[in-house]
Amino acid sequence: MHPHLHTKNAIACEEIIAALEACHNQGFMHKATGGCNDIKEKVNQCLRAERTKIQSENRAKAKERRDRIKRQQEEAGF
């Protein structure tokens, strides 16, 4: 399973998502026989890469925030 495909976090993967939707529109039997598996794997890889990038950014922001709070506490004498 993949997360929702049409979110602000998936903008970088729009082309691959469009290809997956086009593949799905070819019919149930095409999907059921694995015709879209390669494209779905590419979507998963792209979304995973985007999620990893966002997590790294969030981790860096949190570290900056913790460091700033620590400095403020040291300056205040805590």
**What's the pLDDT tens digit per position in 7-48?**
777 888 999 999 999 999 999 898 889 999 999 999 999 999
pLDDT of 56 > 80? The answer is: yes
27 or 78, greater pLDDT? 27
- The crossing angle, in degrees rounded to 10, of helices 14-24 and 37-76 is 150
Asked if residue 49 is part of any domain, the answer here is yes
Give the pLDDT of residue 35: 93
Contact yes or no for 2/43 (Cβ under 8 A): yes
Instruction: Assign 59 a pLDDT band (cuts: 50, 70, 90).
Output: very high
Tell me: pLDDT of 3 over 90.
Answer: no
In one letter, which amino acid is 72? Q
- Does the pLDDT of residue 2 top 70, yes or no? no
d(CA 43, CA 17): 6
Query: Residue 1: inside a domain, yes or no?
Result: no
Domain around 30: 8-76
Cα distance between residue 28 and residue 6, in whole Å: 22
| Count of alpha carbons within 13 angstroms of residue 77, beta-carbon side | 0
User: In total, how many domains does the chain have?
Assistant: 1
